[in-house]
């Protein structure tokens, strides 16, 4: 649990008094939300025993997605019926209210005016069936654990006074709140107690964590919710200098449109926490897709990485002998592509493949499951078959590399990509020329096959800054496992000027264990480096654009970010971001520093 004070910014407007007068015709557009002018029973009533609530507004309103937006805390087994009559919102109960209980009805963004669509955000109607209104709150922020972004969709924040680990899976919460589109949440009107805190993006709207794909967050320990404890935490965090006398600081009974803690001071009745949202790694294995879009290629995709127990074999159904494949597993080993080598065999319209892979059975034991997959390839019409024959007769091996007049990055090898699996490279049929002053000078190079993709090779040499080059690839330089040959490739291009690039000099402090540094631009990880000590780390050859630095505390040392597990009481591995983006300029060194949290 983090007790650090933060600045929640939610907008809730509850206005009392006379309705505002409308603007004259032709005047400025009305941008004010509807205003509550009267409610029966009054908001914040005690000894509540009414069967319905009537809330009157200063103008006609409409309700939008009220069944999804309305949060009742504590939850009711039967949601109340909500309807409109002219300018009045009516709530009728479908069940008996609990005694000595404070209820909070939060309408989210369901209420808006009829004509302009101005929304009254997070309007709350509160009452108690007992002698007092409970006034404690749990507030905080939700962020995604893997990148610290804020969830735009609402997330349910659920509190239980039953502290068993299994309770979010089996019971609805005692109290429930909801985050806004910036991840800020507040669960209000709580009684003093000790709670389990759980957050859920509820996939089936039943307030239970019962789907493996649901996003969750949880607090490591139970949470003490008492006014004296809230004030102790505020004092310890430095949010306040001393415990004031009652009424010395403004109390924030509802969230208001304030910009910062300086505007009104902290809420002395609130506990502040931060939660990290994640999706658990599922251990359910199954085939998500399989297809044969090309006669020569069979593709299978799995929900999880395949273990070493995975095997496959072709069934002897219409198969002339043993079929030989060129196999390719994806980097994450969650997909498999099989290229059929023999033309007699890949011309078969239908192939049957038996696959064996490890799954968990109903007793939660690992067993080997066998599936039989049918792969069919057929032309759809006579014209399609004719086109297919013509295509085969004229088919060429397609080779893609630098575009003519393109610009080559200095710090990268030159990629050559084929449309079919690469079998062999003949360097003598490749020529690379350096062209200073219009004179072509042949330069040495090496080629190598890619270790992760079957259809890619790399050409390596020492690239000169701001230089002109010509690449000549003659037929037969690259061959596939299939007969088609490529045409001559002849492209001219230039290399980047070394002064085009900038670099980041990162001073990293307070490391404890293995840390993964990721350089990110435009939501894509460009570079990744694992470090285990304080020091200065250089990121060179950077194009002039904006970058972010992300730091993953690799607690188990497996070289990647790992998600959490609720029942195993494992939080996701901690992630930190450099607070500001870095705008790299050409021919410039950018010094930045980062002190990591312990």
Three-state secondary structure of 9-44: CCCCCCCCCCCCCCCCCCCCCCCCCCCEEEEECCCC
Separation between Cα atoms, residue 328 and residue 505, nearest integer Å = 39
Separation between Cα atoms, residue 49 and residue 36, nearest integer Å = 22
Separation between Cα atoms, residue 2 and residue 237, nearest integer Å = 10
Contacts of 461 (CB under 8 A, 6+ apart): 414, 432, 443, 444, 445, 446
The helix (run of H) or strand (run of E) holding residue 394 is helix 382-394
Separation between Cα atoms, residue 596 and residue 553, nearest integer Å = 9
Q: What is the DSSP letter of 243?
A: -
Separation between Cα atoms, residue 473 and residue 129, nearest integer Å = 84
Q: What does R_g of the chain's alpha carbons equal in angstroms?
A: 32
Q: What is the DSSP letter of 67?
A: H
Phi, psi of 85 (to 5 degrees): -140, 105
End-to-end CA gap in the chain: 14
Backbone region of residue 37 per phi and psi (left: phi > 0; alpha: psi in -120 to 50; beta: other values): alpha
Q: For the whole model, what pTM was predicted?
A: 0.82
Strand order across the beta sheet in which 52-57 lies: 36-40, 52-57, 88-92, 81-85
- According to DSSP, the residues that pair with 159 across neighbouring strands are 175, 197
Residue with tokens 């597990």: 565
Q: Pairing relation of β-strands 468-473 and 430-434?
A: antiparallel
Give the number of residues written for the chain: 598
Q: What is the chain's pLDDT, residue by residue, as a tens digit (598 residues)? A: 444 433 333 333 333 333 344 444 555 777 889 999 999 999 999 999 999 999 999 999 999 999 888 999 999 988 899 999 999 999 999 899 999 999 999 998 899 999 888 999 889 999 999 999 999 999 999 999 999 999 999 999 999 999 999 999 999 999 999 998 899 999 999 999 999 999 999 988 899 999 988 999 999 999 999 988 888 888 887 778 777 665 444 443 333 333 333 434 567 888 999 999 999 998 889 999 999 999 999 999 999 999 989 999 988 755 566 788 999 999 899 999 999 999 888 988 999 999 999 998 888 889 999 999 999 998 766 565 555 555 555 689 999 999 989 999 999 999 999 999 999 999 999 999 999 988 999 999 999 999 999 999 999 999 999 999 999 999 999 999 999 999 999 999 999 999 999 999 999 999 988 999 999 999 999 999 999 999 999 999 999 999 999 999 999 999 999 999 999 999 999 999 999 999 999 999 999 999 999 7
Domains of the chain: 36-128 (2.60.40.1220), 136-277 (2.60.40), 287-376 (2.60.40), 399-499 (2.60.40.3710), 501-595 (2.60.40.1120)
Q: What is the DSSP letter of 349?
A: S
**Is residue 232 packed enough to be buried (19+ CB in 10 Å), middle (13-18) or exposed (0-12)?**
middle
Helices (H), 224-356: 227-237, 261-264, 343-346
Separation between Cα atoms, residue 337 and residue 306, nearest integer Å = 13
Residues 560/575, Cβ–Cβ less than 8 Å:
no
Q: Tell me how far CA of residue 512 lies from CA of 389, 460, 476, 553, 557, in angstroms.
A: 63, 38, 53, 8, 12
Buried b / exposed e over 536-566, threshold 16 CB at 10 Å, is eeebeebeeeebbbbbbbbeeeeeebbebeb
Nearest to 314 by CA among 302, 329, 325, 327: 325
Residues 264/256, Cβ–Cβ less than 8 Å:
yes
């Amino acid at each position: 649990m983090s007790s650090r004070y933060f600045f929640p910014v939610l907008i809730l407007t509850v206005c009392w008094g006379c309705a505002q007068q409308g603007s004259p015709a032709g005047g400025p557009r009305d941008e004010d939300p509807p205003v509550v002018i009267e409610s029966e029973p009054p908001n914040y009533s005690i000894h509540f025993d009414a069967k319905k609530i009537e809330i009157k507004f200063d103008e006609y309103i409409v309700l939008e997605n009220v069944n999804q937006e309305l949060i009742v805390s504590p939850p009711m087994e039967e949601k109340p019926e909500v309807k409109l009559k002219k300018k009045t919102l009516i709530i009728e109960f479908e069940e008996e209210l609990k005694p000595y209980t404070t209820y909070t009805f939060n309408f989210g963004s369901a209420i808006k005016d009829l004509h302009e669509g101005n929304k009254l955000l997070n309007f709350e109607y509160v009452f108690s069936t007992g002698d007092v209104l409970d006034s404690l709150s749990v507030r905080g922020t939700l962020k995604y654990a893997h990148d610290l972004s804020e969830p735009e969709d609402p997330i349910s924040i659920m509190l239980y006074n039953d502290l068993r680990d299994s309770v979010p899976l089996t019971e609805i919460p005692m109290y429930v709140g909801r985050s806004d589109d910036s991840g800020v949440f507040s669960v209000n009107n709580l009684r003093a107690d000790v709670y389990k805190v759980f957050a859920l993006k509820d996939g089936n709207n039943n307030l239970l964590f019962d789907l493996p794909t649901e996003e969750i967050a949880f607090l490591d320990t139970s949470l003490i919710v008492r006014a004296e404890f809230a004030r102790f935490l505020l004092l310890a965090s430095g949010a306040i200098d001393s415990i004031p006398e009652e009424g010395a600081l403004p109390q924030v009974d509802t969230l208001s449109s304030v910009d910062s803690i300086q505007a009104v001071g902290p809420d002395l009745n609130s506990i502040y926490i931060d939660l990290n949202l994640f999706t658990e790694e599922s251990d359910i294995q199954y085939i998500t897709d399989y297809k044969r879009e090309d006669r020569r290629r069979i593709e299978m995709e799995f929900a999880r990485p395949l273990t070493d127990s995975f095997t496959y074999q072709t069934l002897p159904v219409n198969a002339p002998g043993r079929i030989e494949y060129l196999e390719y597993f994806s980097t994450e080993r969650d997909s498999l592509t099989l290229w059929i080598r023999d033309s007699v065999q890949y011309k078969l319209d239908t192939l049957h493949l038996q696959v064996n892979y490890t799954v968990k059975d109903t007793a939660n034991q690992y067993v080997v499951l066998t599936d039989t997959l049918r792969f069919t390839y057929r032309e759809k019409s006579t014209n399609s078959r004719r086109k297919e024959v013509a295509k085969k007769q004229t088919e060429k091996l397609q080779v893609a590399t630098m575009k003519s007049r393109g610009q080559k990055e200095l710090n990268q090898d030159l990629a050559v990509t084929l449309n079919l699996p690469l079998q062999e490279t003949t360097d003598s049929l490749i020529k690379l020329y350096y062209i200073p002053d219009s004179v072509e000078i042949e330069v040495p190079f090496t080629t190598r096959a890619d270790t992760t993709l079957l259809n890619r090779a790399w050409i390596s040499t020492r690239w000169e800054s701001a230089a002109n080059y010509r690449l000549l690839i003659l037929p037969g330089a690259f061959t596939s496992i299939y007969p088609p040959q490529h045409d001559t490739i002849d492209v001219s291009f230039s290399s980047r000027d070394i002064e085009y690039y900038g670099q980041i000099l990162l001073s990293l402090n307070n490391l404890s264990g293995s840390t993964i540094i990721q350089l990110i631009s435009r939501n894509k990880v460009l570079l990744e480096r694992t470090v285990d000590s304080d020091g200065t780390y250089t990121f060179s050859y950077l194009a002039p654009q904006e970058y972010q630095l992300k730091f993953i505390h690799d607690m188990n040392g497996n070289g990647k970010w790992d998600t959490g597990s609720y029942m195993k009481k494992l939080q996701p591995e901690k992630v930190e971001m450099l607070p500001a983006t870095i705008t790299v300029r050409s021919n410039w060194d950018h010094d930045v520093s980062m002190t990591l949290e312990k």
